[in-house]
């Protein structure tokens, strides 16, 4: 299973691999892009039936052309052979284009440059420098034995954008609620994610924070692996939190805010919901699909509207409690065990579709 240490794919893949291990499935996590941190390595080392391999290969969206991506795919294919894999699970659709051999390939579309660009810069055509990437993703999606998306909204987007004859299968992401140490509720707001990412709209939240009497804390990197950064003036930056650090922050049940304009799922929102944080989210299709009736939505990019919504929830204990209860109830539907169960079914179907069957009850999944 391919993975990167940069964003939500890490959390998705590690949690999934850990849950698959409970069914006897062995997973080789093949890291592409920046190397994992010591905390990330230790997290995987603590799991049974999960092996971490740092390939040294780049992430597709951090390269300049298809040559490097196809080379990474060859490395992944060789790794699958070395570990006697029954199946390759790819979390980067472009990578699937270069995979050779007859192993079934399950592609999970967590996002791509082109659909990101469409949401981030809707009035600007895709940069010609990324046309090769769009073509590679299209090829990878068609090469896959099956394609998965983490939400109905993003499945529709992928099918429309790439002209797929069949819409991707929807398997929601899941999380096991983190054990929380009891902490007094704090009247603060909190956001988390790749703060440098344009679609997270960090400048909007920074401007909203400047209008709030209470602090708006932000966890995550402000500088991207490729050097892009975002200036921050009013947000209270926490840096990149460890899982324990995130759990400690969520235990205080802050008002959780996401102003994302593009989000195929949103694991940080799920973590906050499971911890009992009231949610204030951007009014986009994915968030409506997953959280309608369990969150307050804010449309547009007016900092005053965002600040008002945050302040209203923070100051109204009744509304805050109602939203917290609704978030917990909705979040309980999105479990990693449910994700793993659905993926096991798809693995079996993909293997059957190409005439493969697991070598034994101890299946091996690698990429």
**DSSP secondary structure code for residue 233 in this structure:** S
Strand partners, 297: 281
Same domain, yes or no: 14 and 121:
yes
Same domain, yes or no: 327 and 220:
yes
pLDDT at 356: 61
> How many domains is the chain built from?
2
Domain contains 256: yes
Which CATH number is 161's domain given? Answer: 3.40.50.2000
Give me Rg for the CA atoms of the chain. 20
User: Tens-digit pLDDT profile for the chain (367 aa)?
Assistant: 999 998 889 999 999 999 999 999 999 999 999 999 999 999 999 999 999 999 999 999 999 999 999 999 999 999 999 999 999 999 999 999 999 999 999 999 999 999 999 999 999 999 999 999 999 999 999 999 999 999 999 999 999 999 999 999 999 999 988 776 666 667 899 999 999 999 999 999 999 999 999 999 999 999 988 778 899 999 999 999 988 899 999 999 999 999 999 999 999 999 999 999 999 999 999 999 999 999 999 999 999 999 999 999 999 999 999 999 999 999 999 999 999 999 999 999 999 988 765 443 334 344 4
pLDDT at 186: 77
What span, in angstroms and rounded, lies between the C-alpha atoms of 62 and 58? 7
What span, in angstroms and rounded, lies between the C-alpha atoms of 13 and 40? 12
Same domain, yes or no: 10 and 152:
yes
Domain contains 184: no
Tokens 């299973």 belong to which residue?
A: 1
pLDDT at 179: 73
Domain contains 240: yes
Q: Is 356 exposed, middle or buried (0-12, 13-18, 19+ CB in 10 A)?
A: middle
pLDDT at 17: 98
Contact 27, 1 (CB under 8 A): yes
pLDDT at 354: 81
């Amino acid at each position: 299973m391919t993975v990167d240490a940069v964003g939500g794919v890490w959390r998705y893949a590690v949690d999934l691999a850990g849950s698959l291990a409970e069914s006897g499935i062995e997973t080789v996590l093949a890291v592409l892009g920046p190397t994992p941190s010591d905390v990330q390595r230790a997290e995987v080392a603590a799991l049974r039936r999960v092996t971490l391999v740092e390939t040294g290969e780049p992430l597709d969206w951090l390269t300049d052309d298809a040559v490097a991506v196809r080379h990474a795919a060859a490395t992944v294919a060789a790794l699958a052979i070395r570990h006697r894999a029954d199946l390759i699970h790819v979390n980067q659709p472009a990578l699937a284009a270069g995979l050779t051999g007859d192993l079934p390939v399950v592609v999970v579309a967590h996002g791509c440059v082109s659909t990101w660009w469409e949401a981030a810069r809707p009035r600007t055509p895709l940069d010609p420098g990324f046309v090769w990437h769009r073509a590679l993703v299209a090829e990878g999606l068609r090469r896959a034995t099956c394609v998965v998306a983490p939400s109905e909204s993003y499945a529709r987007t992928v099918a429309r954008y790439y002209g797929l004859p069949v819409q991707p299968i929807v398997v929601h992401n899941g999380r096991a609620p983190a054990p929380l140490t009891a902490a007094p509720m704090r009247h603060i707001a909190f956001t988390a994610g790749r703060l440098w990412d344009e679609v997270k709209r960090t400048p909007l939240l920074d401007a909203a924070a400047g209008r709030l009497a209470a602090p708006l804390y932000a966890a995550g990197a402000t500088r991207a692996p490729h050097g892009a950064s975002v200036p921050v003036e009013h947000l209270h930056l926490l840096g990149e939190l460890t899982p324990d650090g995130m759990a400690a922050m969520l235990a205080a049940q802050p008002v959780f805010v996401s102003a994302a304009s593009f989000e195929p799922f949103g694991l940080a929102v799920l973590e906050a919901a499971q911890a009992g944080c009231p949610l204030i989210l951007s009014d986009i299709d994915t968030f409506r699909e997953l959280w309608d009736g369990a969150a307050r939505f804010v449309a547009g990019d007016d900092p005053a509207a965002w600040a008002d919504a945050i302040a209203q929830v923070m100051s109204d204990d009744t509304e805050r409690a109602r939203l917290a209860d609704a978030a917990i109830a909705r979040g309980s539907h999105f479990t990693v065990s449910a994700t793993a169960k659905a993926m096991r079914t798809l693995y079996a179907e993909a293997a059957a579709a190409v005439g493969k069957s697991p070598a034994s009850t101890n299946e091996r999944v690698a990429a």
